[in-house]
Amino acid sequence: MTDQDLKQSVLDELAWDPSVSEAHIGVTAHAGVVTLTGHVASYAEKCAAEHAVGRVSGVKAIAEELEIRYLYDAGHGDEDIARQALNVLAWDLAVPKGKVRVKVEKGWITLSGEVHWYYQKNAAEKDVRKLFGVMGVSNLIAIEPVVHASDIQDKIKAAFGRNAEFEAAHIVVSTEGSRITLSGKVDSYYERTLAENTAWSAPGVTAVNDLITIN
């Protein structure tokens, strides 16, 4: 695939995704590295654009330089954003009550606290991404598992084997306590993301170091 072919594939995928308005997004591609420039209307759209690019075959890395430009200012200052964040977290059954703390500074949300599972940490971040006025999210929530699995490595390898969306034969899983390191090679950026997310789903995992490279 040439750089021009990859660029066109990325443009097509951005146009295909209904949560992204591609009119103000510029795309360049070189040796599998895709750079996004221009502006979007929200932080949620910025994340959606990045995820859309990650699905494209041939993408090895993403340089994301998108600017957020909200279409209007409804007076949503940091206090309003913080209040909305606490409300949306309180309504989400996937987020343990009272376990996540919120700090907002110039539209940038920092999440902290402790939860038992990665999906709970991820759910909290997804909740606040879509709020009006948000310029970015730092997810510092720690994972303190209630389950300390002694066979984490075997469980992850078994999960890899069940997944039909990527080839697991060339992925190496190593463990140090509850910390996981993934290495080896896959065929796409999308497969690398799937492998990391799969590792996070194992009970007892507190950290995943993704060293997988893309062919």
Which CATH class, in words, describes the domain spanning 3-68? alpha beta
Same fold, 3-68 and 78-143: yes
The pLDDT, as a whole number, for residue 127 is: 97
Q: What kind of architecture, by CATH, is found in domain 78-143? A: 2-Layer Sandwich (3.30)
- The 10s digit of each residue's pLDDT in 44-80 is 999 999 999 999 999 999 999 999 998 766 556 899 9
Helices in 111-151 by DSSP H: which ranges? Answer: 118-129
The pLDDT, as a whole number, for residue 35 is: 97
- 152-214: CATH topology is Histidine-containing Protein; Chain: A; (3.30.1340)
- The 10s digit of each residue's pLDDT in 9-38 is 999 999 999 999 999 999 999 999 999 999
Q: In the numeric block, which tokens belong to residue 123?
A: 């759910």
Distance (Å, rounded) from C-alpha 113 to C-alpha 140?
7
Q: How confident is the model at residue 41 (pLDDT cuts 50, 70, 90)?
A: very high
- The 10s digit of each residue's pLDDT in 126-135 is 999 999 999 9
CA R_g for the chain: 19
Distance (Å, rounded) from C-alpha 20 to C-alpha 22?
6
Q: Where are the domains of the chain?
A: 3-68, 78-143, 152-214
